[in-house]
Structure 1
Amino acid sequence: MELRLLVTFEKVATVLGFTRAAAELGYAQSSVTSQIRALESSLGTELFDRLGSRIRLTEAGTRLLPYARQLIELADEARAAVVGAEEPSGAIAVGTMESLTSYRLPPLLELFHHRYPKVRLSLRPTLGDETRQALRQGTYDVGFLMEPGTEHPGLQSEVLAEEPLVLVCAPGHALAARGATALTTADLAAVQLVGTEPGCPYRDLFEAELRERTGAPPPFMEFGTIEATKQGVAGGLGVALLPAVAVARELAAGTLVRLPWEPPFTLWTQLAWRSGKRLPPHVRLFVEQAVRLVREQASP
């Protein structure tokens, strides 16, 4: 089996599409199709079921996929060992989320831009389950998660930091007038809430906590981004639970105020990759620097 054919097979199996695989590999679609047919011919079995415009792995294709990934990773490792201490290079597909990209990752991204320009980072904005699935399938090389749990089936993860959350509102909001008097979850039952879209981990946990305590779905006004959420809160539209790092500037400036409510859950920022995956040198470098820089930034 030629390594080139296995690389093409792995990409098609990951994205489940000849057109998309061709685009990501830089081939014509006809080349991808002919390479898959050549691999199937050499193995004497079909690797994909063609279902009109869709494809899926056959049983044989499913069995081949983990071996293909191991062989590709071993080839990358061998190449790096032979090349030696050349400047790190290669592409890294990184699953991430807005709050981390904007407020935790800039030092890491700046480091790679200036010191390791041959490492090409591709940031893919996804949340939770979607990121984990993409890591298991090999679509992403590594992924940042913000989750209450630190064990993820099929993945290896490194906890980078606890991610504090704060409930905020505008200075003129009625709840701000209560001062330091602690709020209960029941106090928030009738308050207009402002938040990011469902699927955001702190939004989902906050909503579940309110629903459990009050027995009714809380009134959420949804915004697409953290920045839009902060603008809505500052404009007096409601209160929001957000990562402390995302509102530090507004709290210092007084455009937002922190409310005395402590979330009954904890989130951990983590970096994850597929279990058993041999990380190429440039990906290992990314993991090492992410652990160092994010931990340094999050330290009190």
Structure 2
Amino acid sequence: MDIRQLTTFQRAATLLSFSRAAAELNYAQSSVTGQIRGLENSLGVELFERLSGRQVRLTPAGRRLLPYAERLLSLADEARGATAGPPEPSGQLVIGTMETLATYRLPPVLEYFHHRYPGLQLVLRPGSGAEVLHALRQGTVDVGLLMSAETRHRGVDSEVLGPEPLVAVTGPGHPLAGRARVGSADLRDVPVLAPESGRGHRRLLETESRSRPGAPVPLLESGTVESTKRWAAAGLGVGLLPAVAVREDVESGALVALAWRPPFEVFTQLVRRPRTSPTREMRLFAEQARAVLAEDQEAAAA
């Protein structure tokens, strides 16, 4: 049992495909098959069950080995970094994240790494919260940054970086724009604009609406954060968005923030695979993400 075999096993076990593991590791498929067989022979057990076609699935022994393989590979990476690693972080760090965070939270982080660690490439993979979590579990991203009301997620470790305030906004000429106070009942009389249903705060608003007596809040799917802002500014309804996404629009007068407090909270969170030690690059990203969010929250409070 060696590191090369464990690496091949971990990728094949994560992807459940020898051919995809071979493509990702830049091996011939016969090399992947040979390494897996060598590992099985050294352990005296079968790790994969071969199904019809090219599909495979882990045997009970394979499922037991996987977390140990991930820990051993992580320790090997640490050992390499401690003894013969490059003087500066390098390589590629793939980050799964959501549109709002990629657009409004991560630019200072990207700028910091671009100037401070030019040898490290940060690659963003935007998607919904569910897509970020799925990609992390599948091993196609290294770390995730998401916005969700839930702070525990199956199969991953999560760290809450802070609350992400939500705000309801309209165009300056909207009837609700001049009110000193707006209640949830007022939203039942106007279309509420929110990004597609996969986004957490839209789902929360739908749940809240159904839990109260009377007709549910009329919701219009606006697709993206930017289209939600444009529709709200045009008077098509009330936009429900993270405060960080509309701060400049409210300051410029293009949008008006309503005096309404959502009856739920969402949080920005850092998520990663469990039972694995973070790499130096992952630790640096986490540290900078925490610092940027804390600084932004202090500025907003001031």
Scaled by the length of structure 1, what TM-score is found? Answer: 0.89
The 2-side partners of 1:118 and 1:188 are apart by 50
Distance 1:31-1:238 versus aligned 2 partners, 3 A rule: farther
User: What count of residue pairs does the alignment treat as equivalent?
Assistant: 298
More displaced, 31-40 or 270-279? 31-40
Secondary structure in 2 aligned to 1:293?
Answer: helix
Residue number in structure 2 paired with 1:227: 226
The 2-side partners of 1:54 and 1:172 are apart by 58
* Equivalent pair of 1:105/1:294 in contact (CA under 8 Å): no
- Does structure 1 residue 68 correspond to structure 2 residue 69? yes
Residue number in structure 1 paired with 2:270: 271
Q: Give the Å deviation of 1:65.
A: 0.4
- Does structure 1 residue 18 correspond to structure 2 residue 8? no
Q: Give the Å deviation of 1:85.
A: 6.8
Q: Give the Å deviation of 1:33.
A: 3.2
Amino acid at match of 2:101: L
* Equivalent pair of 2:97/2:129 in contact (CA under 8 Å): no
Distance 1:27-1:58 versus aligned 2 partners, 3 A rule: same
- Does structure 1 residue 299 correspond to structure 2 residue 298? yes
* Equivalent pair of 2:18/2:32 in contact (CA under 8 Å): yes
Residue number in structure 1 paired with 2:259: 260
The 1-side partners of 2:155 and 2:263 are apart by 28
More displaced, 42-51 or 55-64? 42-51
Q: Give the Å deviation of 1:221.
A: 1.9
Residue number in structure 1 paired with 2:40: 40
* Equivalent pair of 1:189/1:218 in contact (CA under 8 Å): yes
Distance 1:66-1:211 versus aligned 2 partners, 3 A rule: same
Residue number in structure 2 paired with 1:121: 122
More displaced, 213-222 or 89-98? 213-222
The 2-side partners of 1:88 and 1:237 are apart by 48
Distance 1:216-1:15 versus aligned 2 partners, 3 A rule: farther
- Does structure 1 residue 103 correspond to structure 2 residue 104? yes
Secondary structure in 2 aligned to 1:269?
Answer: strand
Q: Give the Å deviation of 1:66.
A: 0.5
Residue number in structure 2 paired with 1:3: 3
Q: Give the Å deviation of 1:295.
A: 1.5
Q: Give the Å deviation of 1:299.
A: 1.7
Distance 1:11-1:258 versus aligned 2 partners, 3 A rule: same
> What are the equivalent positions in structure 2 for 1:100-249 lying under 5 Å apart?
100-136=101-137, 138-152=139-153, 155-176=156-177, 179-214=178-213, 216-249=215-248
More displaced, 200-209 or 217-226? 217-226
Q: Give the Å deviation of 1:180.
A: 2.9
* Equivalent pair of 1:186/1:214 in contact (CA under 8 Å): no
Q: Give the Å deviation of 1:110.
A: 1.2
Q: Give the Å deviation of 1:193.
A: 1.9
Secondary structure in 1 aligned to 2:176?
Answer: helix
The 2-side partners of 1:196 and 1:291 are apart by 26
Secondary structure in 2 aligned to 1:27?
Answer: coil
Could you tell me which runs of 5 or more consecutive residues in structure 1 were left unpaired when the two chains were aligned.
Answer: none
The 2-side partners of 1:215 and 1:33 are apart by 61
Scaled by the length of structure 2, what TM-score is found? Answer: 0.89
Secondary structure in 2 aligned to 1:189?
Answer: helix
Q: Give the Å deviation of 1:131.
A: 3.1
Secondary structure in 2 aligned to 1:240?
Answer: strand
Q: 1:149-168 deviations in whole A, cap 9, x for unaligned?
A: 43445544333222111101
Secondary structure in 2 aligned to 1:120?
Answer: strand
Distance 1:121-1:19 versus aligned 2 partners, 3 A rule: farther
More displaced, 92-101 or 20-29? 20-29
Cα RMSD after superposing both structures: 2.2
Secondary structure in 2 aligned to 1:145?
Answer: strand
Amino acid at match of 2:115: H
Q: Give the Å deviation of 1:134.
A: 4.1
Distance 1:257-1:87 versus aligned 2 partners, 3 A rule: same
Secondary structure in 2 aligned to 1:175?
Answer: coil
* Equivalent pair of 2:70/2:275 in contact (CA under 8 Å): no
